[in-house]
């Protein structure tokens, strides 16, 4: 069993997701210079897949027990922001699919990073310490397993996604 706290594992996932988006955005910038290939969208796609799974595990396994323990308002804010993040990712998928130009995609990546920063900077100090304190050992172990190799069900959408 992992001795790492849930919050440490979840915060690491935040950094990995940010890192993938940043890597892709940096590649877009390099692509604007002569003799550079267009940025490979693989790091962005991987980061968005990771973010969707991260949102899934929070909404399905972490928020419900915290809500039940009285943390209604902070959880409500997190759910609303997840919906905005989800919609921003759908917008980025559309831009990639239609071959939008690099500066438009760059702006959308920066927007997603700003939203993530605003979200994570509340979630990490307010929500995660409560998850560490309140989830049972069994629930915590299950979440560590999910973080290692769990999959989001096909077609799952977060509660407040509008698309």
Binding site for Fe ion (CB under 5 A): 58, 123
Nearest approach, Cβ of residue 85 and Fe ion (Å): 8
Nearest approach, Cβ of residue 119 and Fe ion (Å): 6
* 22 vs 31, beta carbon nearer Fe ion: 22
* 27 vs 56, beta carbon nearer Fe ion: 56
* 20 vs 58, beta carbon nearer Fe ion: 58
Nearest approach, Cβ of residue 89 and Fe ion (Å): 13
* CA proximity to 112, closest of 35, 50, 32, 154: 50
* 30 vs 68, beta carbon nearer Fe ion: 68
Nearest approach, Cβ of residue 62 and Fe ion (Å): 9
Cα angle for residues 37, 42, 48 (degrees, 5° grid)? 135
Classify each residue of 129-152 as buried b or exposed e, where b means 16 or more C-beta atoms within 10 Å of its C-beta.
ebbeeebeeeebeebbebbeeeeb
d(CA 52, CA 158): 8
């Amino acid at each position: 069993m992992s001795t790492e706290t849930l919050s440490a594992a979840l915060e690491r996932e935040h950094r990995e997701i940010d890192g993938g988006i940043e890597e892709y955005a940096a590649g877009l910038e390099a692509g604007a210079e002569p003799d550079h290939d267009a940025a490979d969208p693989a790091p962005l796609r991987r980061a968005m897949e990771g973010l969707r799974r991260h949102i899934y595990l929070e909404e399905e396994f972490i928020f419900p027990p915290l809500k039940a323990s009285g943390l209604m308002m902070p959880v409500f804010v997190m759910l609303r922001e997840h919906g905005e993040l989800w919609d921003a990712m759908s917008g980025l998928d559309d831009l990639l699919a239609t071959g939008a130009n690099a500066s438009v995609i760059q702006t959308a990546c920066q927007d997603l990073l700003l939203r993530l920063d605003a979200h994570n900077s509340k979630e990490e100090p307010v929500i995660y310490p409560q998850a560490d304190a309140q989830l049972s050992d069994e629930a915590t172990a299950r979440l560590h397993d999910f973080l290692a190799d769990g999959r989001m069900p096909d077609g799952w959408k977060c509660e407040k996604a509008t698309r």
